[in-house]
Amino acid sequence: MTPTENKSYRIESDLLGEMQIPGHALYGAQTARAIENFPVGRQRTIGSFNQLIRALLLIKKAAAMTNREIGALQADLANAILNAVDDLLANPQPEQFPIHNLHGGGGTSANMNANEVLANLGEEFLGGRRGCRLRLDPNDHVNLHQSTNDVYPTACHMAVLFQWPSLRDALKMLQSALNLSGEKFRHQVRLARTCLQDAVDISFGDYLGGMAAQIGRLTAQIEETVDHLHSVSLGGTICGRTEEVPDAYLNRINSVLASVTDDPLYRPAADLFDAAQNPDEMVAVSAKLDILARSLIKFAKDFRLLSSGPEGGLGEIRLPAVQPGSSIMPWKINPVIPEFLVQIGFRVIGNHAMCAAGLDHGELDLNVWESSIVFPILESMEFLESGITQFINKCICGMEPNAEVNNRNARTIIPMLTRLAREHGYQRVTQVCKQAHNNPDLLKELLLANFGEGGAKKCE
């Protein structure tokens, strides 16, 4: 059907009837229905997640190339789709993907949004007008040998794979920054604490090195979990069934996808029915991000606690002053960067709860809650990258131990008693402690009497 047009809108139709489309829009009737059905308000659209749009476009590119290669799609039509994809990759138009990120329908609206945009842009490349569908159809050509059931889960996997390197780089920078600070302050002693009580003396190199080691370990774990997302369901069309596609397409689509993404690791899922039913590999990534977030919260709270003061707190480290801390109390400086990271951690934990719910509530042959999984993961990665970067630049890099406070705290009684116990035995030192009845001054006298000048000096 040739649409009726005026300066501001055109009319297109789909299964349910006619829809009014903005004249400038590259999308069509199904996207317009999604806009009405899922009002965005001030929330995020799929277009604001550029890695998902990139993934959808590359899938359409791989499909067009494969269909052209096997003779299922005329070369001029396939080339028009390919030109449209390349144009959008080079000149992104996020406003052409205006659907709410949590749209219903298991990703159908997102898939059709991509199909309609590419069909209209390709139609123009072929000499037609957007909305005409005289040469290029979103379903019959752009979506050929595809279903939302295999396209959307694959796009979700790819989007996370695309997003991960930026976060990975931030984590590697964090590990490096912690190691550099640990090396810089390796000779500065500090009082370790267990159960928030005095323990033994260690160095800042020990403490920060432990943080760095965990970040390195978590980064490797996330990397391994993300790598599993190279297993994709293209060719599984409806619920994992392959009857809708020719063998030639099924045998080529994943290798073509690997080529267009320049990533040789893409491979078909071992069982396409499993891939349709179960997004657990995506949720596993979210679970790793949840663990990372909780670990970062711990780091940030440590920095917050160690910098507490300036007079009534621990005051063992000084953090860079980045903004005034009070509208009424002069000279007050708050640890706002660690607090920023803590709250980002809270958000990631909440996002994981949503991802887990998406796994819990899948039914029968297709899990349609992919949107409630992929977008929280992408958002968590964005948040974590931002929080980690600021934590490095405005906290770790300017952090300095307070030598006077740390040296004094490291010479307190518990570390010294631990050394005496190592030399004279735990039970013997404990008997002396019992005689002191929690009186530090009396304890020092008893240590002098029992262990001589060496024991007393250890407790000075």
For residue range 155-164, list pLDDT tens digits in order: 999 999 999 9
Strand pairing class (231-232; 267-268): parallel
Burial class (CB in 10 A: 0-12, 13-18, 19+), 102: middle
Task: Give the model's pLDDT for residue 454.
Answer: 60
Task: Give the model's pLDDT for residue 456.
Answer: 52
Our answer to whether residue 166 is catalytic in this structure is no
pLDDT < 50 regions, the chain: 1-6, 459
Task: Give the model's pLDDT for residue 457.
Answer: 53
Give the CA-trace dihedral at 378, 298, 172, 261, to 10 degrees.
Answer: -20
Percent of the chain clearing pLDDT 90 (strictly above): 89
Query: Who's near 423: CB < 8 A, 6+ residues apart?
Result: none
Q: Is 191 helix (H, G, I), strand (E, B) or coil?
A: strand
Q: Please tell me the CATH code under which domain 156-234+270-405 is placed.
A: 1.20.200.10
Task: Give the model's pLDDT for residue 358.
Answer: 96
Enter the pTM of the model: 0.94
Domain ranges in the chain are 9-144, 156-234+270-405, 412-458
- The active-site residue, picked from 166, 326, 371, 372, is 326
DSSP tag of 96 = G
Query: Who's near 400: CB < 8 A, 6+ residues apart?
Result: 185, 317, 318
Q: CATH number for 9-144: choose from 1.10.3720.10, 1.10.420.10, 1.10.275.10, 3.60.110.10.
A: 1.10.275.10
Give the CA-trace dihedral at 79, 81, 87, 90, to 10 degrees.
Answer: -100
- Tokens read off for 413: 């009684």
